[in-house]
Amino acid sequence: MTFEQYHNENDEIWTAFVHYTNLTIHKGFKNYGAKGIFELIRWHSGATGTGTFKINNNYTADYARKFMEVYPKHEGFFRTKNRK
């Protein structure tokens, strides 16, 4: 499954990712880890994805990149590696 497929099937994960990222930004963090946001979603929200796991960690970096693409004023909030 591609990220786009997963994202389209699990819009509650994107909603929760944006929510918890914005909370983290408003707390004053200049940088944060996308995996940390995923843990907040996993433990503090009712969001669940399709598949075996509550939230699929395979797409963590994709959510970080999507957040910074949709909200360009927060470019660099998540540190990402260059893709091959």
The domains of the chain are located at 3-74
Q: What is the pLDDT of residues 5-31, one digit of tens each?
A: 989 998 899 999 999 999 999 999 999
Query: pLDDT class for 64, splitting at 50, 70, 90?
Result: very high
Residue 49 has pLDDT above 80, yes or no: no
Q: Which two tokens stand for residue 50?
A: 């399709």
What sections of 1-84 are H helices per DSSP? 3-9, 11-26, 34-44, 60-70
Which of residues 45 and 52 earns the better pLDDT score? Answer: 45
- What secondary structure letter does DSSP report for 81? P
